[in-house]
């Protein structure tokens, strides 16, 4: 799902995915497109890359190799069970494992996670990043969605969901690895 060059772990080169999270006040919305491509071929148009976890209190979106992303999603869920209502701690613990565990280090994925209070980007480099402006975008169309969301958030009459939907439409119009079949979750 993530746009990257073919490697030993991913010899055919999976591409695609745009995940966008927009926070305004105590409301946060995360959206993801549904397109999965293999090379230049669309394999699936309705993949669900944004999910609720942690008993529904956390939204998670992922970009990267699908099996790798599901492995990380399961690990994050386990961390949330161990540290309930402590998203930051669960993310830090996952990032530490991801960076130090030989198996996890090979995983090629990124995650965006959010609860009522915080939003984070998690990477295999051990990063747990909270954005200054409440907007996170990952994946091949992430920069398009990020730019659009930053412009749209200035309109105070737009809800986080409105911003997500409009920014994802713009990203889908520009990025060939992003479609308009969205999964949208709001807390």
Domains of the chain: 14-186 (3.60.20.10)
- Residue 110: per-residue pLDDT: 87
Q: pLDDT value at position 156?
A: 94
β-pairing, 14-15 vs 128-129, is: unpaired
Contact between 171 and 18 under an 8 Å Cβ cutoff? The reply is: yes
pLDDT of residue 91: 96
* 107 or 75: which leads in pLDDT: 75
Beta bridge partners, 109, equal: 64
Give the number of C-alpha atoms closer than 13 A to the C-alpha of residue 101, restricted to the C-beta side.
12
Q: How confident is the model at residue 4 (pLDDT cuts 50, 70, 90)?
A: very low
pLDDT for residue 111 is more than 90: yes
CA distance 146 to 126: 22
Lowest mean pLDDT among 107-111, 119-123, 129-133, 164-168: 107-111
> Computed from CA positions of residues 4, 172, 33, 125, in that sequence, does the dihedral angle turn out positive or negative?
positive
pLDDT surpasses 60 at 74: yes
| 14 band by pLDDT with thresholds 50, 70 and 90 | very low
- Residue 106: pLDDT over 60: yes
| Mean of pLDDT values over 130-156 | 96
Query: What percentage of the chain carries pLDDT values higher than 90?
Result: 69
**Is 50 exceeded by the pLDDT of residue 11?**
no
Q: In what order do the strands lie in the sheet with 36-38?
A: 14-15, 36-38, 41-44
What three-state secondary structure class fits 114? strand
Euclidean distance between CA atoms 148 and 163, whole angstroms:
8
pTM exceeds cut of 0.85: yes
Rounded distance, CA 73 to CA 150, Å?
27
**Catalytic one of 17, 18, 37, 178:** 17
Q: Which of 93, 107, 104 is nearest to 63 (CA)?
A: 107
- Is residue 182 a contact partner of residue 34, using CB atoms and an 8 Å limit? yes
pLDDT tens for 38-68 read 888 999 999 999 999 999 999 999 988 777 8
Locus of tokens 């939204």: 59
Kindly state the average pLDDT of the residues 21-29. 94
186 assigned to active site:
no
Residue of 80, 78, 62 lying closest to 70 (CA atoms): 62
């Amino acid at each position: 799902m993530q746009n990257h060059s073919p490697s030993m772990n991913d010899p055919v080169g999976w591409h695609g995915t745009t995940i966008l999270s927009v926070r305004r006040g105590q409301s946060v919305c995360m959206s993801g497109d549904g397109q999965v491509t293999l090379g230049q071929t669309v394999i699936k148009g309705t993949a669900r890359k944004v999910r609720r976890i942690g008993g529904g209190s956390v939204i998670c979106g992922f970009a990267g190799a699908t099996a790798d992303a599901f492995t990380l999603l399961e690990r994050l869920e386990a961390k949330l069970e161990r540290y309930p209502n402590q998203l930051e701690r669960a993310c830090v613990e996952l990032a530490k494992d991801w960076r130090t565990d030989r198996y996890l280090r090979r995983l090629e994925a990124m995650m965006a996670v959010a609860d009522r209070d915080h939003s984070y980007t998690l990477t295999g480099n051990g990063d747990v990043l909270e954005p200054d402006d409440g907007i996170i975008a990952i994946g091949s169309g992430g920069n398009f969605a990020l730019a659009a969301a930053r412009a749209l958030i200035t309109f105070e009459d737009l809800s986080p969901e409105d911003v997500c939907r409009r920014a994802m439409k713009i990203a889908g119009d520009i990025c060939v690895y992003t479609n308009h079949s969205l999964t949208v979750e709001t807390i």
